Amino acid sequence: MTAKAAQPDLRDDFPDSPARRAVVAVVRGFGAVQRQMGPYFAQFDLTPPQFQMLTVIHRLQDEPVSQRRLGRELYVSFPNITVMLSRMEAAKLIRRRANPLDRREKFVELTRRGESLLNRIWKVHQQQLEHVTAGLNSSEREQLTGLLNKLIFHHVPEESKMETTGVHSKT
């Protein structure tokens, strides 16, 4: 915080603002959550995205689920789904099954191993979530959720017009 002379316009730093503080807080908040969830899931030989994948497949699997569907649900690009599923298939957590009626398509389902892992995690998961959000009381948690959802859903007008290679990148 010493030298301040010389340079011309370089020292007019970026102005702070509520908008900037909010964006920074969102990014940091995510980082904090990730740093807590990472080691927790590692204990089950999973990563956070893989856990998300498992829960989504579980939730949808009353009927056949395609990989594209998973991409849309997880807000993640289709190529990424391919590689994540390949790893999870190697770990025998999920299975890909060709759709006999449309040979382009592959359905994804949990193996028994995947199901039972999910059940095992769920037994302790609520407790972990409580731990992560321990800084806030119940009403503050709801408030936070509400504000973030408002932030999120302000953009995303007509919620599915995409479909290029990537996800919602309609550019």
Partner DNA sequence: GCAAAATGGTTAACTATTAAACTATCTGCC
Partner DNA sequence: GGCAGATAGTTTAATAGTTAACCATTTTGC
Q: Does 91 bind a second copy (CB under 8 A)?
A: no
Q: Does 81 bind DNA (CB under 7 A)?
A: yes
Give the shortest CB-72-to-a second copy separation in angstroms. 13
Residue identified by tokens 């382009």 is 104
Give Cβ neighbours of residue 64 (< 8 Å, ≥ 6 apart): 99, 107, 109
Tokens for 68, please give them: 């594209």
Q: Does 138 bind a second copy (CB under 8 A)?
A: yes
Q: Does 164 bind a second copy (CB under 8 A)?
A: no
* 35/32 Cα distance (integer angstroms): 5
Question: Which run of H or of E encompasses 58?
Answer: helix 48-60
Interface residue with DNA among 4, 11, 103, 123 (CB under 7 A) is 103
State the residues that interact with DNA by CB under 7 A.
38, 47, 49-50, 66-69, 75-87, 96, 101-107, 163, 165-167, 169, 171
